[in-house]
Amino acid sequence: MEAEFQRKVAESSGDSGANVKRLEQETAEKIAQLKQQAASISPEVIQMLLRHVTTYSHFSTQRSY
């Protein structure tokens, strides 16, 4: 725990411009990773939603109110 604290202190006490650039790079990488993950599961989510809507629509048309 102390080692982690010392690492964070060392990171934050350095050149703030370098820290900003590092954080911007890490953020850009994370955003790109999230976009890639979202794109890879998007077809699955669409299919799941279509199955749900189709099932619900079919169920609704068979019920009499």
pLDDT in tens, 10-65: 766 667 788 889 899 999 999 999 999 999 999 999 999 998 888 776 666 666 55
Structure tokens at 21: 């650039």
Domain ranges for the chain, please list them. Answer: 35-65
**Cβ within 8 Å of residue 12, ≥6 positions away:** 19
| Alpha carbons 34 and 27: distance in angstroms, whole number | 10
Q: What is the pTM of this model?
A: 0.50
What's CA 13's distance to the chain center, in Å?
30
Check residue 64 and give its pLDDT.
55
Q: How far apart are the first and last CA of the chain?
A: 63
